[in-house]
């Protein structure tokens, strides 16, 4: 219940805010970073951004990109660079890191010129269309899968075994980018 409230319900609240939201991403965006960015309406990434999705409490990757690409990335526990994330539709804009803040603020200012009520209704319409296709149900069901997967760590703790410092998927992905 605590995981559901902290990670699932809170992330869905970010998604469903009445105002447009924009994630500004630089460097490594691992697991929770992906989860937070995925809940935003738009994502602006620096050219050095690298994203690592996984089976998370807020598992939106099948909605964030084509399912076969999602499987390819998840099966390999690999990072997605900013350009690939943009091609797949997860990222809206890729900009040089030095211009990340100014470009994100420029986008926010252009959006802020729109009528607030119209923005709210547009966001509601898009989110409602996703929900009609099963988005929220899928996200809630995936939380259960995440919790079952996490039982391995609980069993390790109960058996007195030390947990790894990093989740295996993170370590595997980091090894790949170090090569």
CATH assignment at residue 119: 3.90.226.10
Over its C-alpha atoms, the chain yields an Rg (Å, rounded) of 17
Task: Tell me which of 150 and 79 has the higher pLDDT.
Answer: 79
Count: domains in the chain:
1
Please give the full DSSP string across 65-124, using - where no structure is assigned. Answer: S-HHHHHHHHHHT--EEHHHHHHHTS-SEEE-GGGHHHHHHHHHHHHHTS-HHHHHHHHH
**pLDDT tens track for 117-170:** 999 999 999 999 988 988 777 777 766 656 556 655 555 555 666 666 666 677
Could you give the 3-state DSSP secondary structure of residue 45?
strand
Q: How confident is the model at residue 29 (pLDDT cuts 50, 70, 90)?
A: very high
Q: Are 174 and 30 in contact (CB under 8 A)?
A: no
Task: Tell me which of 157 and 58 has the higher pLDDT.
Answer: 58
* Lowest mean pLDDT across 33-47, 61-75, 123-137, 165-179: 165-179
Q: What pLDDT does residue 104 have?
A: 98
- Name the residue range of residue 151's domain: 2-178
* Lowest mean pLDDT across 75-89, 108-122, 142-156: 142-156
- Rounded to whole angstroms, the Cα distance separating 6 from 54 reads 18
Nearest to 46 by CA among 112, 108, 91, 105: 91
pTM comes to 0.81
- Name the DSSP class of 156: H
């Amino acid at each position: 219940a605590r995981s559901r409230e902290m990670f699932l319900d809170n992330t869905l609240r970010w998604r469903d805010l009445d105002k447009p939201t924009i994630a500004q991403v630089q460097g490594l965006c691992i697991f929770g970073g992906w989860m937070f960015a995925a809940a935003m309406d738009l994502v602006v990434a620096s050219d050095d951004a690298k994203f690592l999705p996984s089976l998370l409490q807020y598992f939106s990757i099948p909605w964030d990109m084509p399912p076969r690409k999602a499987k390819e990335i998840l099966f390999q526990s690999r990072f997605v660079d900013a350009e690939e994330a943009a091609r797949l539709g997860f990222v809206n804009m890729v900009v040089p890191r030095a211009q990340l803040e100014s470009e994100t603020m420029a986008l926010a200012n252009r959006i802020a010129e729109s009528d607030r009520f119209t923005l709210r209704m547009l966001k509601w319409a898009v989110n409602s269309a996703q929900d009609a296709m099963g988005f929220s149900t899928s996200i809630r069901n995936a939380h259960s899968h995440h919790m079952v997967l996490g039982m391995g760590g609980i069993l390790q703790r109960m058996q007195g075994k030390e947990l790894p410092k990093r989740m295996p998927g993170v370590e595997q992905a980091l090894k790949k980018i170090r090569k």
